[in-house]
Amino acid sequence: MHDEPRSPKSNFIRQIVSDDLAAGKHRIVHTRFPPEPNGYLHIGHAKSIVLNFGLAEDFGGLCNLRFDDTNPHKENMEFVEAIKNDVAWLGFGWDDRLYFASDYFSNLYDYALELIDKGLAYVCELDAEQMREYRGTLKEPGRDSPYRNRTPAENRDLFQRMRAGEFPDGSKVLRARIDMASGNINLRDPVLYRIRHGVIHHQTGAEWCLYPMYDYTHPISDAIEGVTHSLCTLEFEDHRPLYDWTIDNLSVPTRPRQIEFSRLNLEYTVTSKRKLTELVSEGHVNGWDDPRMPTLSGLRRRGYTPAAIRDFCERIGITKSENRIEMQLLEDCIRDDLNKHAPRRLVVIDPLKVVLTNYDDTACEWLHAPHHPQDASLGQRQLPFCKELWIDRADFQETANKKYKRLVSGGLVRLRNAYVIRCDEVIKDDAGEIIELRCHCYPGTLETNPDGEKVRGVIHWVSARHGIPAEVRLYDRLFNVPNPGKDSGDYRTDLNPDSLAIRPNAVVEPCLASATPEQRFQFEREGYFCRDSKGTGLVFNRTVTLRDTWAKAGDSEA
């Protein structure tokens, strides 16, 4: 049960960083994680967080947390706080290096003036539709804007008046003056600034009516912060020439380098902020932290540990190839962590009464049960045992073949951490449903099996007199198909209607009554669960089932 420190896997970015350091290009490596506060962080962001913070950590460098807050329309403080919370939960710190792109609004403005003075930026009055027409198409070059050749003086005056609020939204933009015929559309005089009146920015309030675009803001922010390696996802690859153009043409203090890697795609879920936002706003899930969501807050509420998520990010690697990771890998990561650390508990999710006919009516034994079968250092707890017990309905069948390792009529089974019992009688109600089992309890079988009789297997149980009622929520994959929306056209039609099954009548062993929010356990033979962090009731969320080779073998029920 030891956690060997996992030495980070190498990847092409680590190689570049290591080469740069060896060549003396930088004193230290400096990265940044730059979320836009327009939604909650998801598992895909974790990949980037682990990459950026992990890289800095391993090379003795620094990683900043910087909010890319250049579009106040979509951003707000709730998201800022949630993101900080999630990054910290994952186990990363930014010390005093919490930045906002909006911290640099005035620097950005001054740099824009520098571009204007160099004849490299101009104020354009084409409206959005005209601009699209002038931009050309993927295969045809664009045409120069009629405003392209304004003098620096004229541009300076206009830009200053834009800032002063003299012009309405959409009437003017500041554009870079690069090349309208470039094969790379990002270089066809991209917009640098747009006018936005009347929005209250969560950091700068109403100070600005001018907001810079990402492509312009990002390289400058990186340069100001001394970022050496600016890591982003593949879709920004053809923005790199613009990133470099900006750095090359401005008197910025440092020269950061952008490197792209492929984003994470996970089977049976979606990792696009637009879709996650829709799942929440359209009520397909109960909020950003719904345990079915691939958000960090959802995974957290589901019972995932930071260690498991970091391990997952290490295991998937960093490359530039398109990928779609199987859910089984993520599940293996959390099972691996929880198997080692989660205390074991007995919980009956779908109770069936068992009466031990030969057991004293009033007796109660407190049996010892280890918290962990392979790790005695975790200690043990007491399990009350008495005449009436609950077992799970799925653990009894009137008849079954020899492969069935649970209780059958006339058969013997061991109660986990307790005695061996034999089912003598099946009681049914008028409808023919089994409502009770009358069993014989074999005394003296705490440590050994009864002589000459075959015990089919081991099942879990809870004392009916001592068990605590609880609600158990069984979660399954949010979508029915590996790539939601791929074939159906709309990912929503691939939603799994059975992604949540509530079991309101579960009975848990007594010590679980004091479980704290987010505390994780293995419910033996069922899976890993954690106490829900919302509400006051005794509610447990299933993180993941145990691996089940028997069910896989074809569900050969009997």
Partner RNA sequence: UGGGGUGUCGCCAAGCGGUAAGGCAGCGGCUUUUGGUGCCGCCAUUCCCAGGUUCGAAUCCUGGCACCCCAGCCA
Cα gap 24→176, rounded to integer Å: 33
Residue 522 is a binding residue for RNA (CB under 7 A): yes
Cβ proximity of 333 and 511 under 8 Å:
no
* CB nearer to RNA: pick between 62 and 131: 131
Q: How far is the CB of 429 from RNA (least distance, A)?
A: 25
Residue 386 is a binding residue for RNA (CB under 7 A): no
Residue 376 is a binding residue for RNA (CB under 7 A): no
Q: How far is the CB of 535 from RNA (least distance, A)?
A: 27
Among 374, 377, 516, 536, binds RNA (CB under 7 A): 374
* CB nearer to RNA: pick between 105 and 500: 105
Q: Map residues 111-130 to x or -, x wherever contact with RNA holds by CB under 7 A.
A: ---------------xxx--
Residues between 257 and 296 with contacts to RNA, criterion CB under 7 A? 262
Instruction: Check residue 410 and report its DSSP letter.
Output: T
Selected catalytic residue, list 84, 263, 315, 503:
263
Selected catalytic residue, list 194, 273, 344, 473:
273
Residue 451 is a binding residue for RNA (CB under 7 A): no
Cα gap 253→107, rounded to integer Å: 12
Q: Map residues 64-103 to x or -, x wherever contact with RNA holds by CB under 7 A.
A: ----x-xx--x-----------------------------
Residue 542 is a binding residue for RNA (CB under 7 A): no
Residues between 178 and 237 with contacts to RNA, criterion CB under 7 A? 183-186, 190-191, 194-195, 211, 213-215, 234-237
* CB nearer to RNA: pick between 519 and 533: 519
* CB nearer to RNA: pick between 27 and 73: 73
The tally of CA atoms less than 13 A away on the side-chain side of residue 293 is: 26
Residues between 453 and 492 with contacts to RNA, criterion CB under 7 A? 457-458
Q: Which stretch binds RNA (CB under 7 A): 112-120, 280-288, 295-303, 517-525?
A: 517-525
Cβ proximity of 47 and 263 under 8 Å:
yes
**What is the sign of the dihedral through the CA atoms of 157, 159, 164 and 167?**
positive
Q: What is the 3-state secondary structure (H, E, C) of 50-114?
A: HHHHHHHHHCCCEEEEEECCCCCCCCCHHHHHHHHHHHHHHCCCCCCCEEEHHHHHHHHHHHHHH
Among 58, 332, 436, 518, binds RNA (CB under 7 A): 332
Phi, psi angle pair for 520, to nearest 5°: -110, 145
* CB nearer to RNA: pick between 290 and 337: 337
Chain-centroid distance of CA 415 in Å reads 37
Annotated catalytic, 263? yes
- Residue in the block written with tokens 């710190």: 93
- Residue in the block written with tokens 């990683």: 63
- Residues 6+ away with beta carbon under 8 Å from 551: none
Residues between 15 and 34 with contacts to RNA, criterion CB under 7 A? 15, 34
* CB nearer to RNA: pick between 36 and 436: 36
Residue 300 is a binding residue for RNA (CB under 7 A): no
Cα gap 26→41, rounded to integer Å: 30
CB under 8 Å, gap of 24 or more: what pairs does 4-11 form?
A: 6/311, 6/314, 8/54, 8/58, 8/314, 9/314, 9/315, 9/317, 11/261, 11/317, 11/318, 11/319
* CB nearer to RNA: pick between 458 and 481: 458
Total residues contacting RNA by CB under 7 A comes to 88
Residue 404 is a binding residue for RNA (CB under 7 A): yes
Q: How far is the CB of 328 from RNA (least distance, A)?
A: 4
Cβ proximity of 462 and 494 under 8 Å:
no
Which residues are known catalytic residues? 36, 263, 273
